[in-house]
Amino acid sequence: MADELPSCLTLHGERLWLAVSVVPNAKRTGVDGLHDGALRVRLASPPVDGKANDTLVAWLAAELGLARRHVTLVRGQTARRKWLELDGSADDIVGAVTRLLTTGAARA
C-alpha cells in the first residue's frame, strides 16, 4: 500500500474508509478539494429519500474504478459528513483519490 494516505482516507482492518463532506443540490457532481480532513463532493442531487447517498455511491464507484457493490456507506446516512468503506486494491484506491484531489483542486 502507499506509504502515506491522503487525510480523507483511513485504514480500518483490511479496508479503506473515505471521509466525505457532501454538498447536495449543486449544479454538477464533482470534487471540490478537501474540507476539514474530508473529500468535499458537490452532488447534483437533492438530499431527499436517499437520492444524494445513491448518487454519491454510484459516482464514487465510477470515479474510483470500483464496482458499486464495493462502495458502502457505513456512517452518516442523514448527515453531510459521511464515511464510505472501499473494497479494492489499496494502491489503486489511494491513486484514484489522489487523482480526484488533484483534478478537483485544478478546477477550483
Looking at the structure of the chain, the number of domains it has is 1
CATH number of the domain at 61, please. 3.30.1200.10
In a domain, 10, yes or no: no
What is the pTM (predicted TM-score) of this model? Answer: 0.90
Quickly state the pLDDT bin for 5 (edges 50, 70, 90).
Answer: confident
Residue 58 lies in a domain: yes
Whether the predicted pLDDT of 2 surpasses 90:
no
Is the Cβ–Cβ distance between 84 and 20 less than 8 Å?
A: yes
Mean per-residue pLDDT, 3-23: 91
For 68, the domain range is 20-82+92-107
pLDDT at 36 over 70: yes
